[in-house]
Chain A
């Protein structure tokens, strides 16, 4: 049973990680929190739902479509809610993104309706039993997709020129600019990538759970923030590890403690982390952004 719980936790954690990577990328490059990131995730789920319904089950297409759509949405949000505020007080984007989040929620509610929806049951599901474990094809797909995406992001950041430009900007935008990096372009790229990952997470959540509705972004957003913190602000591998940690902890917490206190434990852990190890689990020190 413990093994099954771990598998459950890893799957959940992979989704959290995808969302947290987006948060941490944006924080790394801009030093700001994107409080509408959860709504980007939510819209990704809806785009995926529409595509899957229209194409009678083409999940890969849904993923691609959702990632492109949310990537573009992210770029739009950057233009509208972040760019005009460069140089302003660092709290201002918190307010603009809250406004954007509300507007996106309400638009989704108007267009799709407030009812909860699930991906159609036309998606084939096979169950495999590996000893005491029960794993579904959907779960495997989700884990695989998440790992592929995370791997792609790591490669991108570590091995490509654009990725280096992103890392340079994250360390110090001024110096990066002086050294010839087109900081604006980097920011746009980061928003695209971060939002596309959130969109992908949305499709995966839609696949795994019957839970697509205009307000799923709120809770996911908060979880993403917690994971970002666990992994260290601005730390991409940290976000991946943090996601897995939170997913496993949540599942184990529910299994062995009362779920009613679970959130309190999680946030208590957050407070402790902040006091004792603010640089996150992986301990990579990053320039402090106040």
Chain B
């Protein structure tokens, strides 16, 4: 009888303990250090800049809410200048000198590809927020991409496009000087279009730095397809669309995520109304998480809306946080190698993570998998299309 209250306490404690589930290994250390290599200057500046701003937002939020497992989060951001050699030396610096647990970025497929052999030697993972060239995550088990490759972006978009506009024939215009666009134009689009029963009348090319597309459009005019598919980034796509409308073409356009930047909608306005874009994130998503992020991003960036690289890097920070907290990472110096491997393992298991770009899953090839976001241009804005 005397010990009844003790029994009660013990039972209650056990019940509470059991209900709480297996306690994750305590994250220790003074700060959880992650690295980030973004292309903040140079020709890829807008992707790196948006990624940097988004990362800063994520870090602020996380630290305000107590950090990662109670420990403050620090992300060391480095600028590659959109060059391959700095990507390599900065990655090595972050891994070997700063001893980061994992690296966010790089955005560009060429930087990503160049890093792959290095990662096997240094055994630290990278996760890209933008690279869309199919197949390159296979190069190293430490190479991850939380974004959809071109084929996954375009597959649902082609179907939506075909159905909406009854497209039976198409012309493809693509950038033959850019790896991702060339892959889209040469392989991805022809295959997907064929699958949807669309006849490819002709494929026309241009070079990345071109600004004048009058020749290509004049040719398309003569072919008179039902639709025009693009393997391009928004800078050139905006001009292609504008030129087409100028020459009197009314065909609908189809493109992938590199075109799905808010800047595209602004540049094409009415001309691009109704274009279908297979993308990896919708900045104007009214979902509370995304809307809150958009608001903070616009404040920090001086009114700009984020491209999908920015959105995905925000998610990547949060996913890494989750992986660290549930993966037994101790953040003790002696466990550095083991921790890095734990984070890698954790990332391979990511399934249906609810981020601002939708549900994220990492597939066995270490690429992002999940539903692509199909967007359309409406009234100068990007709007989601349900399918």
Query: Do A and B come into direct contact in the complex, CB within 8 Å?
Result: yes
Can you give 16 contacting A-B residue pairs, CB < 8 Å? A1-B218, A8-B214, A8-B218, A12-B214, A109-B45, A115-B263, A121-B269, A127-B246, A205-B211, A210-B268, A215-B43, A216-B211, A251-B215, A252-B215, A255-B216, A260-B207
Q: How far is the CA of A211 from the CA of B239 in the complex (A)?
A: 7
Q: How far is the CA of A218 from the CA of B221 in the complex (A)?
A: 31
Q: How far is the CA of A250 from the CA of B214 in the complex (A)?
A: 11
The residue from A8, A258, A260 contacting B212, defined by CB atoms under 8 A apart: A8
Q: Which residues of B177-221 have CB atoms within 8 Å of chain A's CB atoms?
A: 177, 204-207, 209-212, 214-216, 218-219, 221
Q: How far is the CA of A5 from the CA of B247 in the complex (A)?
A: 11
- Give the Cβ gap from B50 to chain A, nearest Cβ, in Å: 9
Contact status A209-B269, CB under 8 Å? no
Q: How far is the CA of A209 from the CA of B222 in the complex (A)?
A: 22
Contact status A258-B263, CB under 8 Å? no
- Give the Cβ gap from A107 to chain B, nearest Cβ, in Å: 12
| A278 close to B (CB within 8 Å) | no
Q: Which residues of A251-266 have CB atoms within 8 Å of chain B's CB atoms?
A: 251-255, 258-260, 262-263
New contact pairs (20) apart from A4-B247, A210-B268, A255-B218, CB-CB < 8 Å: A1-B219, A4-B218, A5-B214, A8-B212, A116-B235, A117-B267, A118-B242, A134-B246, A134-B247, A134-B248, A209-B211, A209-B212, A209-B242, A210-B242, A211-B239, A250-B212, A252-B215, A259-B176, A259-B210, A263-B207
Q: How far is the CA of A252 from the CA of B219 in the complex (A)?
A: 11
Q: How far is the CA of A1 from the CA of B209 in the complex (A)?
A: 25
- Give the Cβ gap from B110 to chain A, nearest Cβ, in Å: 17
| A287 close to B (CB within 8 Å) | no
Q: How far is the CA of A117 from the CA of B264 in the complex (A)?
A: 9
- Give the Cβ gap from B41 to chain A, nearest Cβ, in Å: 7
Interface residues of A, count at CB 8 A = 38
- Chain B residues whose CB sits within 8 angstroms of the CB of A254 once the complex forms: 206, 215-216
Q: How far is the CA of A101 from the CA of B374 in the complex (A)?
A: 40
How does the 8 Å CB contact mask read for B254-294 relative to A, with 1 for contact and 0 for none?
00000001010011111000000000000000000000000
Size category of the binding interface on chain B = 35 or more
Contact status A251-B212, CB under 8 Å? yes
- Chain B residues whose CB sits within 8 angstroms of the CB of A121 once the complex forms: 269-270
Contact status B211-A211, CB under 8 Å? yes
Q: Which residues of A214-236 have CB atoms within 8 Å of chain B's CB atoms?
A: 215-216, 218-219
Which 3 pairs, one residue from A and one from B, show the smallest C-beta to C-beta distance? A114-B45, A8-B214, A254-B215
Contact status B215-A255, CB under 8 Å? yes
| A213 close to B (CB within 8 Å) | yes
Q: How far is the CA of A208 from the CA of B14 in the complex (A)?
A: 74
Contact status B235-A211, CB under 8 Å? yes
How does the 8 Å CB contact mask read for A87-115 relative to B, with 1 for contact and 0 for none?
00000000000000000001001000111
Q: How far is the CA of A218 from the CA of B205 in the complex (A)?
A: 21
How does the 8 Å CB contact mask read for A113-147 relative to B, with 1 for contact and 0 for none?
11111100100010100000010100000000000
Q: How far is the CA of A1 from the CA of B222 in the complex (A)?
A: 8
- A113, A136, A259 pick with most chain B CB within 10 angstroms: A259
- Chain B residues whose CB sits within 8 angstroms of the CB of A117 once the complex forms: 263, 267
- Chain B residues whose CB sits within 8 angstroms of the CB of A216 once the complex forms: 211
- Chain A residues whose CB sits within 8 angstroms of the CB of B164 once the complex forms: none
Contact status B205-A260, CB under 8 Å? yes
The residue from B49, B177, B246, B248 contacting A260, defined by CB atoms under 8 A apart: B177
- Give the Cβ gap from B62 to chain A, nearest Cβ, in Å: 27
Q: How far is the CA of A263 from the CA of B176 in the complex (A)?
A: 12
- Give the Cβ gap from B231 to chain A, nearest Cβ, in Å: 13
| B365 close to A (CB within 8 Å) | no
- Chain A residues whose CB sits within 8 angstroms of the CB of B215 once the complex forms: 5, 8, 250-255
Given contacts A5-B215, A8-B218, A209-B242, contact A219 B205 (CB under 8 A): no
Q: How far is the CA of A43 from the CA of B41 in the complex (A)?
A: 18
| B161 close to A (CB within 8 Å) | no
- Give the Cβ gap from A168 to chain B, nearest Cβ, in Å: 38
- Chain A residues whose CB sits within 8 angstroms of the CB of B206 once the complex forms: 254, 259
Q: How far is the CA of A1 from the CA of B216 in the complex (A)?
A: 12
- Chain B residues whose CB sits within 8 angstroms of the CB of A8 once the complex forms: 212, 214-215, 218
- Chain A residues whose CB sits within 8 angstroms of the CB of B176 once the complex forms: 258-260
Given contacts A114-B49, A127-B246, contact A210 B239 (CB under 8 A): yes
- Chain B residues whose CB sits within 8 angstroms of the CB of A259 once the complex forms: 176, 204-207, 210, 216
- Chain A residues whose CB sits within 8 angstroms of the CB of B266 once the complex forms: 118
| B238 close to A (CB within 8 Å) | yes
Contact status B218-A5, CB under 8 Å? yes
Chain B minimum-CB-distance residue to A247? B212
Q: How far is the CA of A263 from the CA of B210 in the complex (A)?
A: 11
- Chain B residues whose CB sits within 8 angstroms of the CB of A116 once the complex forms: 234-235, 238, 263, 267
- Give the Cβ gap from B377 to chain A, nearest Cβ, in Å: 13
Chain A minimum-CB-distance residue to B242? A210
Given contacts A118-B267, A121-B269, contact A262 B238 (CB under 8 A): no
- Give the Cβ gap from A254 to chain B, nearest Cβ, in Å: 4
| B349 close to A (CB within 8 Å) | no
Chain A minimum-CB-distance residue to B46? A114
Chain A minimum-CB-distance residue to B268? A210
Q: How far is the CA of A123 from the CA of B276 in the complex (A)?
A: 26
| B30 close to A (CB within 8 Å) | no
Q: How far is the CA of A253 from the CA of B304 in the complex (A)?
A: 38
- Give the Cβ gap from A262 to chain B, nearest Cβ, in Å: 7
How does the 8 Å CB contact mask read for B227-261 relative to A, with 1 for contact and 0 for none?
00000001100110010001110000000000001
Q: How far is the CA of A89 from the CA of B201 in the complex (A)?
A: 56
- Give the Cβ gap from A224 to chain B, nearest Cβ, in Å: 14
- Chain A residues whose CB sits within 8 angstroms of the CB of B221 once the complex forms: 1
- Give the Cβ gap from A195 to chain B, nearest Cβ, in Å: 21
Q: How far is the CA of A262 from the CA of B206 in the complex (A)?
A: 9
Contact status B304-A115, CB under 8 Å? yes
How does the 8 Å CB contact mask read for B123-162 relative to A, with 1 for contact and 0 for none?
0000000000000000000000000000000000000000
